[in-house]
Structure 1
Amino acid sequence: MSVRIYRPAKSATQSGTARSKVWLLVFDPASPRSTDPLMGWTSSGDMNSQVRLRFTTKEEAIAYAEKNGLDYRVEEPKLAPRKILSYSDNFKSTRAGPWTH
């Protein structure tokens, strides 16, 4: 059984970083999902697809996977450098970009 260890990205709809500070261990699907012919719902017999384990550090998640004999892959977070600007920077005389309003 294989798992994926990753750190989720910050939510695009919120300015906070509440759920992006933990590492998640998620099981890969063991079987493909099937569609119910009557209702059209998708279902799966794989119960591990519902399990999401949270860890405070990457090392704890790796230790858990190794202890339980799970094949794992670690996906490092892609952190873009944030350029801190203030509202007054929009009106500077040394502004490099063109005015759009």
Structure 2
Amino acid sequence: MAVARIYQRPKNAMQSGRARTDRWVVEFEQTERQEPDPLTGWAGHGNTAAQVRMLFPTLEAAQAYCDREGHSYHVVPAPERKLKLQAYADNFR
């Protein structure tokens, strides 16, 4: 069976909003090395499970899916939010 990675998407660095960061993602890890195609030069491999990405509303739902389908998995903890508190007066120091 495939090894799955369960993680929570971080906030997009290009935007200030936190849309879709509450969902949990299940991705399958690659099991074979990518080979360049001799004709086009594009990288590819025969494992199509590595192209699958599924979204779940909770961590428990993602874990239940992996348990039900017989996939082994590991959970990557969500990155800790770092708040950089600034005051307008700091611009004039």
TM-score, normalization by structure 2: 0.87
CA–CA distance in 2 between the matches of 1:46 and 1:91? 53
- 2:49 is matched with 48
- 2:89 is matched with 89
Give the drift of 1:89. Answer: 3.4
Task: Output aligned runs, 1:1-101, within 5 Å.
Answer: 1-86=2-87, 88-91=88-91, 99=93
Q: Which runs of 5+ in 1 are unaligned?
A: 93-98
CA–CA distance in 2 between the matches of 1:10 and 1:91? 26
- 1:96 is matched with none
Larger Rg: 1
TM-score, normalization by structure 1: 0.81
**4+ residue runs over 3 A deviation:** none
Q: Residue by residue, what CA displacement relative to the aligned partner does 1:21-64 show, whole Å, maximum 9, x if unpaired? A: 11000011122111012321111111111111101111110111
CA–CA distance in 1 between the matches of 2:81 and 2:10? 11
Percent identity (aligned) = 34
Report how many residues are paired.
92
Give the drift of 1:67. Answer: 0.7
CA–CA distance in 2 between the matches of 1:91 and 1:24? 40
